[in-house]
Structure 1
Amino acid sequence: MPNWWHDAVVYQIYPRSFCDSNQDGMGDLPGIISKLDYLKTLGVNVLWLSPVYRSPMDDNGYDISDYQDIAPEFGTMADMQQLLAEAKRRDIRIIMDLVVNHTSDEHPWFVEARKSKDNPYRDYYIWRQPKEDGSAPDDQGSIFGGSAWQFDEQTGEYYFHLFSKRQPDLNWENPKVQEEVHRMMNWWIEKGIGGFRLDVIDLIGKEIDKGITGNGPRLHPLIQQMNRATFGDKDLLTVGETWGATPEIAKLYSNPAREEFSMVFQFEHITLTWENGDKWQPIPLDLPALKRVLTKWQVELADEGWNSLFWNNHDLPRVVSKYGDEGQYRVESAKMLATSLHLMKGTPYIYQGEEIGMTNVAFDSIDDYRDIETLNFYQERTANGVAPETMLAAVHENSRDNARTPMQWDSSAHAGFSTAQPWLAVNPNYPSINVADALDDQNSIFYHYQKLIALRKQLPVIVRGAFEPVFEEHDQVLAYIRQDDNQRLFVLSNFSAEKVTLAMPSALQTSQAECVIANYAPRQQLEATVTLQPYESFAMLLSSLK
């Protein structure tokens, strides 16, 4: 049975970088409210907000000190209530970004937990005795670099943190932690939110003493328990961030019969440009490998589970810089990437600025960066002998700050994001890449996204059709067919800056074909031989099949 989110399109907002209403250099909730009509014009019907909870901002809000309050820099709970109400008036739902693998070290639970070993909150977190020589219990590493163990002077024990030392991991073996989290989730559900994006949720089933962090044996029972206690009987969208998911694991999360989540984010297509899984050693895209990954997920989750479709988010580089051409063919390649993704089966996610083709930023100095992960790894790698210029080049390619530079609204100072100096400098290319110009140009990337979103509502084959790859091993083009009982849609994209000539399979040659979207002049029919321009992409509804 179809759910409302099967034909939804989600827009992710990174609140501190979206729109600053009070001119303090930081985006905020009233700023988001002021742009709801823009988002309505784009056509999205779900907004995913990166965390806006109270936080010391060690990791830009992914370190939560109060789940039931709003960070003062973002506004107030009254602002949040107004955002929910104003979004609802425009038929837009709000998805909250929820971090329950860890909290801030300033969360009252942790403040209490570190007071003494017999404090009632002690077991809300993961503590271990030092080794005999006083060193950490084991050599597990933090995802942000360094050890995953931090010594606490007050009680003489180490606590576990998979991320920053200011983000202690919660102990999900403790039923009280589970109850507290469920109660808090229900509190938000009662406020009228549209669902949750669950940050690094695949880590909550960890077994520390066995060295198991992701996909632990207790993970799925914990999620099923969460489902039963909170959102399971409600019409909400839930998406889990699961870096370690395979298609088989994703089915465990997203098969409705298992009563876990609506869908998950998997990152297999993202890590293809990381040498040996190391984001700080970027390598060029291998298009046949990308196609194999995308096809695998489309085929494997065809009838069991559901896909999320995304190129970008707050942790990833800008896709037009990564898989497209941010120079001469920025507009063409941004449209091509959008078409390639949005016409697949699944729920598409657009990251703020993607719809105008915002690009990576290349700051001159590491001092211009703010991301804790970027700064930690730059320091660690250069201390271990990596040349600073080599590391800075990797930062330019893959730093999380590529996604976090302020939204480019117009060509005025600071891109119209704020009249004050922003918390992170704007990308210097904002005078030529901004929303105001995009809205004035009917051929802009923005209107291409708007059309793709509308097509998803108009053509059931996009939501429900089967997926069949075409030209699977071609190293320059991505192509596929979407087909249901009534419609057949052919999508063809050139991922290169060169012209490409293709002989069409006879099964695709038709006497009638309607071009539903294109980034060059729409094609009138599908010829036996097709020559694609650089980064050309189009989709055709086929009929009168031979």
Structure 2
Amino acid sequence: MNNVEWWRGAVIYQIYPRSFADSNADGIGDLPGIVDKLDYIADLGVDAIWISPFFKSPMADFGYDISDYRDVDPMFGTLADFDRLLDKAHNLGLKVMIDQVLSHTSDQHAWFLESRESRDNPKADWYVWADPRPDGTPPNNWLSIFGGCAWQWEPRRGQYYLHNFLTSQPDLNFHNPEVQQAALDNVEFWLKRGVDGFRLDAINFCFHDKQLRDNPAKPEAERSGRGFSNDNPYAFQYHWYNNTQPENLAFIDDLRALLDKYPDTAALGEISSEDSLATMAEYTQPGRLHLGYSFEFLTDDSDAGYIRHTVENLENKLGQGWPCWAFSNHDVKRVATRWARNGEVSATQASMLNVLLGCIRGSICMYQGEELGLSEADIPYELLQDPYGITFWPNFKGRDGCRTPMPWLQNDEFAGFSTVTPWLPAVDEHKVVAVDTQQAAGSVLQSTKAFLHWRKTQPVLLAGDIRFTELSEPLLGFWREYEGKRLLCVFNLSADVHSLSLDAIASNAVQLAPGGVEVSGNTLHLPPFGYSVLSAD
């Protein structure tokens, strides 16, 4: 595989810095803590790290509300700490991607503090401001993801401002060319510092409909996806006008042109739209984003048919674009719990899912703790930190359950994450699967590590095409093909035993990654959550 870009087929390990490792005993993870654990990450066999926001912020949304794009929040360390992290990661062969939150800022950002003061100051048009309707109500019916109206009244200007997320996260007005240039300048600040790429938060939210047209109502039967259940009014609308506008494509072109000035860098876009797969395909065409991922596998749907339909749907639209997949991240319930069969979390299933993720065509994002098979933590209301969960409790408990401290040590009060009480509790069910307990072969950690290192040696998995084969639920099977080589990947997605005859699909196949599967004649005997990667050459 000569001259293949590093990001194609890459395993990108997501670090949520608040919860990874606390180096200074304040109960909050930090950049020096990440530096201390980089050897562990490199040993996993991943190719890159993606670090969630560590910039200056009031932390209303835990760093996704940025008040200074060019500095590190003291909670996480200093710019010198980041430089040290970058140097060590590069010495270990790891690429470093950082979050960029371009569509909105904190309401404490200097731009917004100036913009809100009057209608004629130099930053007056840097945010999305609108006059009220004649009766004083907001200019349209747009809703915030975090619940309620997406417009907040500002008495200094006598206008409303738009916030697709928290009221403390005002949306920038990307129809203003000065805003676009300022965003690009902030990106270039980090490119000059040596980062290898960016994960672009909510990248399809940069532009809004200039006419401020109302979003149409969505039928009750279609109100689903990304946790927007019927108890969140956000699910009641088709979000045609508050995001994913055609003007966004020209900005993405400009963003890509900037990255192209810095060789070997990449941009990964987070995409959540009414048709996320179509948007993902559109945004990753040549000359645009290198990678895109959506929330199709961050839902409760986990049967073989759904996985096949989702991948095939994207492949049919993708053209020359390149996909990226994730089963978990910092915004959704952990997959070990979300996709558990019969409500029972299984280490065997966790291992299988890590392999499945790594066998689908594309690059992958692996959230910290997935290599341990962590389950969703149950956080009582009185310990919740997430404003999303506090608002929608008890129907939706928010995102704290997937953000609890990384468990490094079993026999430690705070799981080796910190020496003081962490910002979220280190739960007992995580301590029993801490890193130090999973050093024996066969653990989720060791199985995942072995697979990731083996995957690096398989060009077929890194760059090959994908073609699904006809199997009955709960079995999932697909071919990966590259330069005359073929691999057959078979997964049992159930907690029951299943058998599969290979006579019709892969005679004389040889197992390369057996996943507990036994072969009798030309029949695969798949135990619960068993899998097999076979060579058919």
TM over 0.5: yes
> Within 5 A, what are the aligned runs for 1:331-350?
331-350=347-366
Q: Which residue of 1 aligns with 2:383?
A: 368
Paired residues of 1:320 and 1:326 also in contact (CA < 8 A):
no
Comparing 463-472 and 409-418, the one that deviates more: 463-472
More divergent stretch after superposition (228-237 vs 179-188): 228-237
Which of the residues 209, 217, 222 maps onto 2:251? Answer: 222
Structure 2: distance between partners of 1:435 and 1:73: 25
Among residues 70, 73, 77, which one is paired with 2:72 in the alignment? 70
> Which among 55, 58, 61 is matched to residue 56 of structure 1?
58
How many angstroms does 1:430 deviate by?
2.5
Whether the aligned pair in 2 keeps the contact of 1:101 and 1:170 (CA below 8 Å) is: yes
Distance 1:538 1:357 in 2: 19
Kept in 2, the 8 Å contact 1:498–1:534? The answer is yes
Distance in 1 between the 2:179 and 2:520 partners? Answer: 59
Tell me the equivalent position of 2:489: 491
* Residue in 1 that maps onto 2:288: 260
Q: 1:518 and 2:514 equivalent?
A: yes
From 131, 134, 140, give the equivalent of 1:129.
131
What per-residue deviation string (whole Å, max 9, x for no partner) do you get for residues 441-479 of structure 1? 12111122222222232111112222111235x221111
What's the offset of the Cα at 1:343? 1.1
How far is 1:239 from its partner? Answer: 0.5
* Superposition deviation, residue 485 in structure 1: 3.2
Provide the C-alpha distance between the structure 2 equivalents of 1:96 and 1:346, rounded to a whole number of angstroms.
Answer: 20
Under a length normalisation based on structure 2, what TM-score does the superposition of the two structures give? Answer: 0.90
- How big is each residue's C-alpha offset from its partner over 1:295-329, in whole Å with a ceiling of 9 and x where there is no partner? 3334543x521110211111121111112359866
In structure 1, C-alpha distance between the alignment counterparts of 2:344 and 2:376, rounded to whole Å? 15
* TM-score, with length taken from structure 1: 0.89
Name 1:242's counterpart in structure 2.
271
For 2:260 and 2:201, the matched residues in 1 are separated by 16
Q: Which moved more, 1:289-298 or 1:307-316?
A: 289-298
Matching of residue 288 in structure 1 with residue 305 in structure 2? yes
SS in 1 for 2:447: helix
Structure 2 match to 1:429: 429
CA distance in structure 1 between the partners assigned to 2:289 and 2:520 by the alignment:
40
Residue of structure 1 equivalent to 2:322:
306
Cα distance change of structure 1 residues 74 and 358 upon mapping to structure 2, 3 Å threshold: same
- Cα shift readout 1:68-117 (whole Å, capped 9, x = no counterpart): 11011100111111111111111112101000100000000001111111
1:208-227 residue CA offsets vs partner (Å, 9 max, x unmatched): 51241222120101111222
TM-superposed deviation, 1:518: 3.1
Deviation of 1:133 after TM superposition, in Å, equals: 2.5
Aligned to 1:384: none
Task: State the 1:235 CA deviation.
Answer: 1.7
Residues 1:210 and 2:240 are matched in the alignment: no
The 1:465/1:227 distance shift into structure 2, 3 A limit, reads closer
Alpha-carbon distance in 1 for matches of 2:283, 2:105: 23
Contact 1:494/1:534 (8 A) holds in 2: yes
C-alpha distance 400-408 of structure 1, shift in aligned 2 (>3 A) = same
Please report the RMSD computed on the Cα atoms of aligned residues, expressed in angstroms: 1.9
The change in CA–CA distance for 1:485 and 1:155 in structure 2 (over 3 A counts) is closer
Q: Which structure 2 segments of 5+ residues have no match?
A: 215-240
Give SS of 2:415's match: helix
Are 1:206 and 1:213, in contact at CA under 8 Å, matched by a contact in 2?
Answer: yes
How many residues are matched? 506
Match of 2:298 in 1: 270
99-108 vs 330-339, which moves further: 330-339
5 Å matches for 1:76-475? Answer: 76-207=78-209, 209-211=212-214, 212-231=241-260, 234-244=263-273, 245-256=275-286, 259-271=287-299, 273=300, 285-298=302-315, 300-301=317-318, 304-325=320-341, 330-363=346-379, 365-378=380-393, 388=394, 391=395, 394-395=396-397, 399-411=398-410, 412-438=412-438, 440-472=439-471, 474-475=472-473
Task: Determine helix, strand or coil for the equivalent of 1:123.
Answer: coil
Q: CA deviation at 1:526?
A: 7.0
Tell me the CA shift for residue 490 of structure 1: 1.2
- Partner secondary structure for residue 530 of structure 1: strand
Aligned to 1:479: 477
SS at match of 1:415: coil
Aligned residue for 1:436, secondary structure, equals helix
Distance in 2 separating the partners of 1:328 and 1:252:
38
Letter of the structure 1 residue corresponding to residue 152 of structure 2: Q
More deviation in 451-460 or 12-21?
451-460
> Unaligned stretches of 5+ in structure 1?
274-283, 379-387
Residue 103 of structure 2: SS of its match in structure 1? coil
1:253 shift after superposition: 1.6
CA distance in 2, matches of 1:538, 1:241: 31
Q: 1:192: Cα distance to partner?
A: 0.3
Distance 1:246 1:142 in 2: 18
Tell me, yes or no, if the aligned pair for 1:242 and 1:265 is still in contact at 8 Å: yes
CA contact (8 A) 1:182 1:230 kept: no
Which one-letter code corresponds to 1:424 in the other structure? L
Which position in structure 2 is the counterpart of 1:277?
A: none
Q: Residue 97 and residue 337 in structure 1: after superposition, are their counterparts in 2 closer, same or farther (change >3 A)?
A: same
3-state DSSP of counterpart to 1:6: coil
Q: Which amino acid aligns with 1:253?
A: Y
Offset of residue 285 of structure 1: 4.2
Question: Superposition pairs for residues 24-35 of structure 1, below 5 Å?
Answer: 24-35=26-37
Q: Any idea what the Cα deviations from partners look like across 1:162-182, whole Å, max 9, x if unmatched? A: 000000000001111111111
The 1-side partners of 2:203 and 2:329 are apart by 17
Report the 3-state secondary structure (helix = DSSP H, G, I; strand = E; otherwise coil) of the residue aligned with 1:67. strand
- Match of 2:460, SS state, is helix
Identity, % of aligned pairs? 34
The structure where helix makes up a greater share of residues is 1
The answer (yes or no) to whether the contact 1:339–1:538 under 8 Å persists in 2 is no
Equivalent of residue 534 in structure 1, options 523, 528, 532: 528
Offset from partner CA, 1:272-311 (integer Å, 9 cap, x none): x3xxxxxxxxxx644422321123334543x521110211
Asked whether the 8 Å contact 1:206–1:214 carries over to 2, the reply is yes
Question: Helix, strand or coil for the counterpart of 1:223?
Answer: helix
Aligned-partner Cα distance in 2 for 1:519–1:64: 44
C-alpha distance in 2, partners of 1:336/1:230?
36
**Letter of the aligned partner of 1:449 in structure 2?**
T
The 3 A distance-change label for structure 1 pair 360 and 492 is same
Shift of 1:246: 4.3
Q: Give secondary structure in 2 for the equivalent of 1:137.
A: coil
Aligned equivalents of 2:116, 2:347: Cα separation in 1? 53
Name the CA distance, whole Å, in 2 between partners of 1:251 and 1:304: 9
